[in-house]
Amino acid sequence: AKAAGRNTYQMFTREMHTAARQRLAMENNLRSAITNDEFVLHYQPQVDAATGKVVGFEALVRWLSPEAGLVSPERFISIAEETGLILEIGRHVFEMACEQAAKWKKAGVPFEKISVNLSARQLQQPDLPEMLATIMARYEVEPGMIELEVTESMTMERPVESIRILGVLKSMGIDLAIDDFGTGYSSLSYLKLFPVDKLKIDRSFVKDIEIDPDDAAIASATIAMSHSLGKKVVAEGVETAAQLEFLVKHGCDIIQGYLFSKPLSADDAVEYLNTL
Ligand code: C2E
Ligand code: CA
Ligand code: CA
Ligand code: CA
């Protein structure tokens, strides 16, 4: 029994070493990815539920690694958060989104907004509004062409400070959306104080919306509540016609999901608009 215990212990520490080494490797790889400019944005269409028109695109970062190919943000965003590298990656993401928005505007591509995800660390930077303003000015992007997504849970880490900073961003003319809504335990009294334009219903509620009565209730209540607070609702992760039907029936404003399109390269996004 003693030997078995020791083996388990050794196995455990070996696994921890492996995990720690993998994290360290990832951190180093991310540093060189920043230096070598290996991040790209893909764009997922957001569709007006009433008209079927594409109203915007959510910019989603990918890491184009020379060794590993296209790496999903799920694999590197949390390590980037913990190491603080997200600040540099996030700035670069915003810059790429602004560059794209300016390019599309100039080319007459019919879109209203590009939505960019912010991380918790970015939201806590006192110079965030200034940094964003500088980049928008550099690319001559109107703030109205940009939307920022902050998750419900990150705003609830420091609700009072979040309300203040979101107010500053809003006053600059940037649209704001609360991402992953329903997963972050925000209270309704705070929600009323958040100066945001939209709520995004998390994919986890959309998934079983036509079979799980709880998910259906959460989604329809979120839509009704948002509307009564004067906010629009985006549903994310919409994959089936039945999900779409439910959401449209309950007044959801904007639909995003594989049913319409996966996130696309910038060129494919334009192609998507042209073939509508
Ligand atoms: P998110 O902001 O909730 O983005 C939605 C995710 O759901 C995206 O995954 C998108 O590709 C995926 N998705 C969209 N429609 C469907 C669908 O119909 N079915 C399914 N199964 N999935 C769908 P992605 O691109 O892998 O991004 C994952 C997460 O990584 C994002 O979740 C966001 O939290 C984070 N992320 C992505 N880009 C950035 C970024 O530029 N900055 C920061 N801070 N985080 C980012
Ligand atoms: Ca998002
Ligand atoms: Ca989500
Ligand atoms: Ca998410």
pLDDT tens digits, 161-198: 999 999 999 999 999 999 999 887 777 778 888 999 99
pLDDT in tens, 204-262: 999 999 999 999 999 999 999 999 999 999 999 999 999 999 999 999 999 999 999 99
> How many other β-carbons are positioned within 10 Å of the β-carbon of residue 264?
17
In this prediction, residue 192 carries a pLDDT of 85
- Closest ligand to the CA of 119: 1
Query: Within 13 Å of residue 71, how many CA atoms lie on the same side as its CB?
Result: 16
Contacts of 263 (CB under 8 A, 6+ apart): 42, 43, 44, 58, 60
Atom 12 of ligand 1, residue of closest alpha carbon: 237
d(CA 241, CA 98): 33
Name which of 149, 62, 136 is nearest 100 in CA terms: 136
Find out whether the beta carbon of 240 lies less than 6 Å from any atom of ligand 1: no
In this prediction, residue 244 carries a pLDDT of 98
In this prediction, residue 70 carries a pLDDT of 95
In this prediction, residue 4 carries a pLDDT of 62
Q: Are strands 54-65 and 39-48 parallel, antiparallel or unpaired?
A: antiparallel
pLDDT in tens, 28-87: 999 999 999 999 999 999 999 999 999 999 999 999 999 999 999 999 999 999 999 999
In this prediction, residue 191 carries a pLDDT of 82
Q: What are phi and psi of 261, to 5 degrees?
A: -170, 150
In this prediction, residue 23 carries a pLDDT of 86
The pTM (predicted TM-score) of the whole model is 0.94
The tokens 């939209």 sit on which residue?
Answer: 198
For residue 83, the CA-to-ligand 4 centroid distance in Å is 19
For residue 7, the CA-to-ligand 4 centroid distance in Å is 38
Q: Is the pLDDT of residue 268 over 70?
A: yes
In this prediction, residue 3 carries a pLDDT of 60
d(CA 195, CA 162): 10
Q: Which of 60, 94, 132 to mutate to test the pocket of ligand 1 (most atoms within 8 A of CB)?
A: 60
In this prediction, residue 27 carries a pLDDT of 92
Contacts of 58 (CB under 8 A, 6+ apart): 43, 44, 46, 114, 115, 117, 149, 256, 263
Name which of 238, 232, 273, 240 is nearest 257 in CA terms: 238
Q: What is the mean pLDDT of residues 145-158?
A: 93
Q: Is 259 exposed, middle or buried (0-12, 13-18, 19+ CB in 10 A)?
A: middle
Q: Are 46 and 55 in contact (CB under 8 A)?
A: yes
For residue 161, the CA-to-ligand 2 centroid distance in Å is 21
In this prediction, residue 10 carries a pLDDT of 72
Find out whether the beta carbon of 239 lies less than 6 Å from any atom of ligand 1: yes
CA 222, 223, 228, 229 dihedral sign is positive
Distances (CA, A) of 13 to 6, 23, 27, 152, 175: 11, 15, 21, 35, 47
